Amino acid sequence: MRSLGENWRNAQAVLTGAGIDSARLDARLLLEYLAGCRYTDLLMAPEKILESPAQQVFDALLARRAKGEPLAYLLGEAEFRGRVFQVSPAVLIPRPETEVLIELALEKLQGLSAPKVVDLGTGSGIVAVSLALECPRASLVAVDLSQDAIAIARNNAGRLGAKVDFREGDWFSPVAGERFDTIVSNPPYVADGDPHLALNGLPFEPQMALTDGADGLACIRRIVADASVHLNPGGWLLFEHGYDQGEASRNLLTAAGFKAAVTFQDLAGIDRVSGAFI
């Protein structure tokens, strides 16, 4: 039988030994989750015993974390924009830089009375759900090829009270013949074989959500090529991309007849979202 304090110290040592940068925080969050307690409880009552079977589950999750599995998958949830979203290995873990996409979409929706928005490749639904909650005038459609992702996204929308029309299918296929005021997407944009795919827990994430299996621009090309027939006049297409894909994205937009193609940076000053209007 081990106390919370012993578990915390041991878990930190295990994760540090495994080269996990966030060892202290991860150990703490795992322990809080298994003990069903808060940080202050860990500090105030470290002598409390972690009961069985929580201890066994803690040991098992700790071993998985030490092997690099992201904490979000172990806990089954991740925070994005102040909300907790359910996640599983069927969906990408939310990245803070995706907030740039949300902020820009909200800006483009300003002044529109009942805008229609579609989110392509919704994954866990963070983009569609955030937009639905933060722009209640908008009606949201969210598309994903993965049935498992749609199930998670639908659950997130339900738990967070967001009204989103989820549809399973390939990019624009489920919205054939429909037009929107804004199209948003965080598509897979990492090039096949990019060494980044082997780092930081990415091997545990769905590869179909990370890489297009080609040069990193294959999905962006498809989205840009098909977007204009799905936009109302003046409507914006906005999509997330990699740090070195800004210029190529703007060129694709311009070649497809979009106006004023522009790239926006994330908080780290890295090219992150490009967009244009029709």
70 binding ligand GLN? (CB under 6 A): no
Q: Which of 188, 235, 246, 275 binds ligand GLN (CB under 6 A)?
A: 188
SS3 181: strand
Closest Cα to residue 58, out of 30, 98, 79, 84? 30
190 binding ligand GLN? (CB under 6 A): yes
Hey, which residues between 227 and 246 contact ligand GLN (CB under 6 A)?
Answer: 240
Closest to ligand GLN by CB, 50 vs 224, is 224
210 binding ligand GLN? (CB under 6 A): yes
How far, in Å, CA of 34 to CA of 37, rounded?
A: 8
Give the DSSP H/E element, type plus range, for residue 274.
strand 271-277
How far, in Å, CA of 93 to CA of 108, rounded?
A: 26
Cβ-proximal residues to 176 (8 Å cutoff; 6+ apart), any chain: none
186 binding ligand GLN? (CB under 6 A): yes
- Closest approach of Cβ 239 to ligand GLN, in Å? 9
Closest to ligand GLN by CB, 33 vs 189, is 189
How far, in Å, CA of 252 to CA of 191, rounded?
A: 17
Q: Which of 9, 95, 167, 179 binds ligand GLN (CB under 6 A)?
A: 95
SS3 for 78-140 is EEECCEEEECCCCCCCCCHHHHHHHHHHHHHHCCCCCCEEEEECCCCCHHHHHHHHHCCCCEE
Closest to ligand GLN by CB, 54 vs 197, is 197
User: Which span (77-85, 126-134, 182-190, 263-271) binds ligand GLN, by CB under 6 A?
Assistant: 182-190
How far, in Å, CA of 156 to CA of 269, rounded?
A: 30
Q: Which of 58, 73, 189, 258 binds ligand GLN (CB under 6 A)?
A: 189
Closest to ligand GLN by CB, 17 vs 193, is 193
Question: Contact residues for ligand GLN (CB under 6 A)?
Answer: 95, 186, 188-190, 202, 210, 240
